Amino acid sequence: MAWPARTERLSIRPATPDDLDATWAFRRLPEVCEWVTWLSADREAYAAQFLDPPRLASTLVVERGADVVGDLMLRVEDAWAQGEIAERAAGVQAELGWTIDPAHAGRGYATEAVRELLRICFEDLGLRRVTALCFAENTASWRLMERVGMRREAHNVRDSLHRSGAWLDGYAYALLAEEWRARTVSP
């Protein structure tokens, strides 16, 4: 895979330790913290989380010019398989995630970045399936999943514990490589 990946307006590349402050600037905002998996109380806690090797290795940065406008998660994983054929399911799917700086929201950057991330998954990495999860109340996230062609596979009732202490519904979305290919070659 050659980095950075480029779209019409954006570039996407693996995160480095130098991206800590740029991502902390938007990940600490209340409107972002509402839905992210980990809430960091301060920059030091965020640094420990961001710089954790597995986390850093699964993080991509979205840039518009010199500005970091968001980040993406690309976590390649094994599919479930029966034991005697498990090696055929190794590294064939990915879980995706995204965060866009609210200062850059509403301009289509998230859609553009996630479409490119799907292209990377299916064309460059040769994956067979991608998934994404969100709280059902995170309308912006599930609408993005639908915009990029992902299918809602599950609506789980009160399965997700929010940091507010409330059990919220969750959605699971997915897209198969053959579905993505069919959409990209259709007129």
Q: Where are the domains of the chain?
A: 5-185
pLDDT at 38: 84
pLDDT at 187 over 60: no
Which tops the pLDDT comparison, 186 or 44?
44
pLDDT at 125 over 80: yes
pLDDT digits (tens, 9 = 90+) for 72-95: 999 999 999 999 999 999 999 999
pLDDT at 167 over 80: yes
DSSP structure string for 51-119? TSHHHHHTEEEEEETTEEEEEEEEEEEPPP--GGGGGGGTT-EEEEEEEE-GGGTTSSHHHHHHHHHHH
pLDDT at 31 over 60: yes
pLDDT at 134: 96
pLDDT at 183 over 90: no
| DSSP type of residue 120 | I
Which tops the pLDDT comparison, 36 or 130?
130
Average pLDDT value for residue range 156-172: 95
Report the top-level CATH class of 5-185. alpha beta
pLDDT at 110 over 80: yes
Q: Record the pTM.
A: 0.94
pLDDT at 186: 57
pLDDT at 184: 82
The proportion of the chain whose per-residue pLDDT surpasses 90, expressed as a percent, equals 93
